[in-house]
């Protein structure tokens, strides 16, 4: 069972006592510390020498009997109403991982021994229970914490299974995460698609995520069914390529987890744990590999792109400038596809795009996914767009010759926005700022013993979110999604922000007005900056849903 853990030394207290008197500390996998004035450059790596890797699909247990002790239903809200039909066991342990043949094997923290962790393939109305077992050593190799709690980002889950950052447990303990996989409010328009899970350890989220504790959590239903040959007339038949529903990798539905990292001269992954602005790497990983390649056929593909962070923003283009269809923003399908030639992602934001490679000239044999967002430090992008020719290349797409059969399609109508039909009972203001070198919300550091907003179940509220200074903040809400009423006073209808969101990137001076419902679950939740270095340095609030 879960046991709350209190760190022996509060990390923010340590930082406040040392940040003004020390240089940058780079902690690497050999557990050494260096005092350096500037971030070191990583060793050279040859691009495009390894194929794009994929996490395995998580396999449910044949039954729950092998797990001992049994689940206590009393510890979970509405457990018997949403009795689990599938059971998974997820051990968390340390292993070594090499992201490129020219670098070293670095210790990484993993779910089930791989990073990203196994992809959880879920369906609505099929509740699941995932038992996450902490098998980490009591002393970590390098940076990171041995205490964990797992959050399904954009999940509509009860508080005790949400990965609340104060519900930590250490080595030798486990926690049962009950995922009802229900529609929020029972509304079919509230269905979601591309979610992800990650560690949410208080004060150490950035380090644990950077060490590898991430994975995809994909949800399907009768419309977004994951089968491009689905005979159901309601099915969208988006690109998938899963034959006969078998649990094999979808050939044309491709998750892409983006993360940037930095390595010491010996090729070990390092992190400046004292940099409170944010951590930037100079090596781009896609699904854990540095600059891999991927062979594609001349047909439509669905790419589910996730920005893992910790602090980098992306402006993603294809190197030939071709357009594609933007179909989902964060976990949600948009009301209708939008034809674009680039998408911007703050940390933790996702974008589902459809790229039709059959539109390329027959002479085109390769293109690249590139990042044109200029960013020189962890504060956020500069706002400048890099020239296409000098933009960092993340993924090489090698186009196979010859035409192929393509049964997929992209409907003109996807997922209309749910109604804003609950009464607004309160309006709140939240300002993301900086005070005495620390990140604050409404001038306060986070205190998980303090409730910053008490919300009555079954109501709706309007929240006004603002920021100032020279920093960008991707703000994330747990549990509930929201409608953006206005962004800097303007409507967002018809844009990529026009659907439901769970992360919104605020740039210096931005203001956003959002509408949210609070419905199915009770308990403690948080809102925080998802530049996860900012989150670890106190840029978070706790809010509670009460009867």
- The pLDDT score that the predictor gives to residue 378 is 92
Q: Which residues contact 303 (CB under 8 A, 6 or more apart)?
A: 254, 256, 352, 353, 354, 355
- pLDDT tens profile 300-335: 999 999 999 999 999 999 999 999 999 999 999 999
Q: CB of 388 within 8 A of CB of 317?
A: yes
Whose structure tokens read 């990983």? 285
Burial label, 81 (beta-carbon count in 10 A; 0-12, 13-18, 19+): exposed
What whole-number percentage of the chain has pLDDT above 90?
86
- The pLDDT score that the predictor gives to residue 373 is 98
Q: What is the mean pLDDT of the chain?
A: 91
Domains defined for the chain, CATH in brackets: 11-230 (2.60.40.420), 253-403 (2.60.40.420), 424-546 (2.60.40.420)
Q: Beta strand pairing status for 540-546 and 453-456?
A: parallel
Task: Give the span between the Cα atoms of 393 and 400, in whole angstroms.
Answer: 20
What whole-number percentage of the chain has pLDDT above 70?
91
Q: Give mean pLDDT, residues 93-113.
A: 97
- pLDDT tens profile 150-171: 999 999 999 999 999 999 999 9
Q: Check residues 141 and 356 and name the one with the higher pLDDT.
A: 356
Q: Does residue 247 carry a pLDDT above 70? A: no
| Across 29-43, 118-132, 268-282, 328-342, least confident range | 29-43
Q: Give the pLDDT band of residue 3 (cuts 50, 70, 90).
A: very low
- The pLDDT score that the predictor gives to residue 97 is 96
Q: Does residue 90 carry a pLDDT above 90? A: yes
Q: Does residue 481 carry a pLDDT above 80? A: yes
Q: Which residues contact 309 (CB under 8 A, 6 or more apart)?
A: 206, 209, 210, 259, 347, 348, 530, 531, 532
Q: Give mean pLDDT, residues 372-393.
A: 96
| Most confident range, picked from 137-141, 372-376, 437-441 | 372-376
Q: Give the pLDDT band of residue 60 (cuts 50, 70, 90).
A: very high
Q: Beta strand pairing status for 314-318 and 350-356?
A: unpaired
Q: Give mean pLDDT, residues 5-22.
A: 38
The DSSP letter of residue 63 is -
Q: CB of 311 within 8 A of CB of 279?
A: yes
- pLDDT tens profile 337-349: 999 999 999 999 9
Among 545, 546, 547, 530, residue whose Cα is nearest residue 198: 530
Whose structure tokens read 């923010």? 12
Count CB atoms within 10 A of the CB of residue 77: 18
- The pLDDT score that the predictor gives to residue 7 is 37
């Amino acid at each position: 069972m879960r046991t709350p853990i209190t760190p022996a030394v509060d990390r923010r207290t340590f930082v406040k006592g040392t940040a003004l008197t020390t240089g940058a500390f780079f902690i690497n996998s050999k557990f050494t510390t260096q005092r350096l004035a500037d971030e070191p450059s990583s060793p050279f790596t040859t691009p495009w020498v390894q194929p794009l890797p994929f996490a395995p699909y998580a396999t449910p247990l044949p039954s729950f009997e092998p797990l001992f002790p049994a689940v206590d239903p009393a510890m979970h809200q509405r457990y018997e109403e949403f009795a689990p039909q599938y059971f998974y066991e997820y051990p968390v342990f340390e292993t070594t991982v090499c992201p490129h043949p020219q670098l070293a094997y670095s210790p990484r923290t993993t779910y089930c021994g791989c990073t990203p962790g196994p992809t959880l393939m879920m369906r609505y109305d099929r509740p699941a229970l995932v038992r996450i077992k902490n098998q980490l050593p009591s002393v970590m190799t390098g940076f990171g914490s041995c205490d964990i709690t797992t959050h399904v980002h954009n999940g509509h889950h009860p508080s005790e299974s949400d990965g609340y950052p104060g519900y930590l447990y250490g080595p030798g303990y486990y926690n049962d995460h009950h995922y009802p996989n229900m529609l929020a409010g029972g509304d079919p328009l509230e269905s979601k698609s591309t979610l992800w899970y990650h560690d949410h350890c208080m004060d150490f989220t950035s380090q644990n995520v950077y060490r590898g504790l991430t994975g995809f959590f994909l949800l399907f239903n009768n419309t977004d069914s994951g089968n491009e040959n689905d005979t159901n007339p309601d099915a969208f038949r988006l690109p998938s390529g899963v034959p006969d529903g078998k649990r094999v990798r979808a050939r044309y539905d491709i998750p892409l987890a983006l993360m940037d990292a930095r390595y010491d001269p010996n090729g070990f992954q390092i992190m400046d744990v004292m940099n409170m602005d944010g951590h930037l790497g100079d090596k781009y990983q896609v699904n854990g590999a540095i600059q891999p390649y991927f062979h594609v056929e001349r047909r439509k593909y669905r790419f589910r792109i996730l920005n893992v962070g910790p602090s980098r923003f992306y402006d993603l283009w294809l190197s030939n400038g071709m357009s594609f269809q933007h179909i989902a923003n964060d976990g949600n399908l948009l009301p209708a596809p939008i034809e674009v030639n680039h998408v911007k992602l703050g940390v933790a934001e996702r974008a589902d795009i459809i790229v039709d490679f059959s539109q390329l000239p027959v002479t085109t044999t390769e293109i690249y996914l590139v990042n044109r967002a200029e960013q020189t430090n962890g504060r956020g992008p500069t706002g400048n767009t890099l020239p296409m020719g000098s933009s960092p290349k993340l993924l090489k797409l090698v186009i196979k010759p010859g035409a192929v059969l393509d049964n997929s399609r992209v409907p003109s109508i996807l997922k209309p926005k749910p109604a804003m039909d609950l009464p607004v009972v309160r309006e709140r203001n939240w300002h993301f700022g900086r005070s005495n070198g620390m990140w604050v919300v409404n001038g306060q550091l986070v205190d998980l013993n303090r409730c910053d907003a008490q919300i009555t179940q079954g109501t709706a509220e309007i929240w006004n979110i603002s920021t100032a200074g020279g920093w960008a903040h991707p703000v994330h809400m747990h549990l509930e999604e929201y409608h953006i009423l206005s962004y800097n006073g303007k409507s967002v209808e018809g844009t990529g922000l026009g659907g439901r969101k769970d992360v919104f990137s605020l740039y210096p001076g931005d203001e956003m007005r959002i509408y949210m419902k609070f419905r199915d679950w009770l308990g403690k939740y948080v809102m925080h900056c998802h530049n996860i270095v900012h989150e670890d340095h106190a840029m978070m609030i706790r809010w509670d849903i009460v009867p």
